[in-house]
Amino acid sequence: MNDEDDDLILADLPDDELVQQMFDDLYDGLRDEIEEAVHILLDRGWEPYNILTEALVGGMTIVGKDFRDGILFVPEVLLAANAMKGGMAILKPLLAETGAPRVGKMVIGTVKGDIHDIGKNLVSMMMEGAGFEVVDIGINNAVEKYLDALESEKPDILGMSALLTTTMPYMKVVIDTMAEKGIRDDYIVLVGGAPLNEEFGRAIGADAYCRDAAVAVETAKTFMARRHNSMATAV
């Protein structure tokens, strides 16, 4: 880091430059700086929802893209996610108060036998950032745990994550069980994880496979809009 950066005073920056700086700070995983900048924007009268979407989600989208393109690797993504988490922790209570839009609700978890949770956590965070309520049921979920969560949380969307070739087939077990119980079509089922692909998603009967968190958000929004439309016509 050079002297100029050392001397950078976030509070002296105009809004647009501050948001740019937040993109850089997220990219570099600087949690303290992100928290400070969130406070500054709040003091300047920014709506919490706008800070979340424009600064945090905007910055994280860049990180996600560079991860996909092989420019960043896992630790950088993890550090950036940590920094974003810091910012979100400040905004979350305010978002609840200010009645920010709620797009839908999602239950998400990693399937049985699989402990990889970095991707799942990132998807949760970006979905929250996009206005979804997310209930994260953690790692190593057997079918019963998914079903319990569906029943108690009544989400619109079920998300399943798997990073192992040996655990990804378990997603089909969950979807088949949902079908047996006659509840498959009550939910939008999204699946993801590095070894999956679109063909696999189709083969197991998911509604969609999502390559990354940004695609997950877009896909979830599209399905929610479709859902509302079909409900509107049904009435």
Partner 1 sequence: MVIACGALAREILDIRDRNGWHHLALTCLPAQLHNRPERIPAAVEAAVMAARPHHGRIVIAYGDCGTGGQLEALCDRLGVTMIDAPHCYAFFEGSARFAAHDDEITAFYLTDFLVRQFDAFVWEPLGLDRHAELRDMYFGHYTKLVHLAQTDDPALDAQARECAARLGLAHERRGTGYGDLPRWLERA
- Secondary structure of residue 104 in the 3-state scheme: strand
Both tokens of residue 82? Answer: 């940590």
Residue 168 interacts with partner 1 (CB under 8 A)?
Answer: yes
Comparing CB distances to partner 1, the nearer of 53 and 140 is 140
Contacts of ligand B12 in 53-82 (CB under 6 A): 64, 74, 77
Calpha distance 55→61 (Å, rounded): 10
Calpha distance 51→46 (Å, rounded): 7
Residue 213's binding partner out of partner 1, ligand B12, none, with CB under 5 to 8 Å set by partner kind: ligand B12
Contacts of ligand B12 in 90-129 (CB under 6 A): 108, 113-120, 122-123
Both tokens of residue 125? Answer: 């965070």
Residue 182 interacts with partner 1 (CB under 8 A)?
Answer: no
Encode 36-99 in three state secondary structure: HHHHHHHHCCCCHHHHHHHHHHHHHHHHHHHHHCCCCCHHHHHHHHHHHHHHHHHHHHHHHHCC
Among 194, 205, 221, 227, binds partner 1 (CB under 8 A): 194
Contacts of partner 1 in 123-162 (CB under 8 A): 139-140
Both tokens of residue 171? Answer: 């997603």
Q: What are phi and psi of 105, to 5 degrees?
A: -130, 140
The stretch near ligand B12 (CB under 6 A) out of 9-17, 36-44, 156-164, 227-235 is 156-164
Comparing CB distances to partner 1, the nearer of 165 and 230 is 165
Q: Which run of H or of E encompasses 136?
A: strand 132-136
Question: Which positions from 200 to 229 touch ligand B12 by CB under 6 A, shown as an x/- string?
Answer: ----------x-xx--x-------------
Q: How far is the CB of 94 from ligand B12 (least distance, A)?
A: 26
Q: How far is the CB of 62 from partner 1 (least distance, A)?
A: 19
Comparing CB distances to partner 1, the nearer of 197 and 229 is 197
Which residue, 63, 18, 26, is CA-closest to 42?
Answer: 18
> In the complex, which residues of this chain contact partner 1 (CB under 8 A)?
70, 73-76, 78-79, 82, 113-115, 117-118, 139-140, 163-166, 168, 194-197, 200
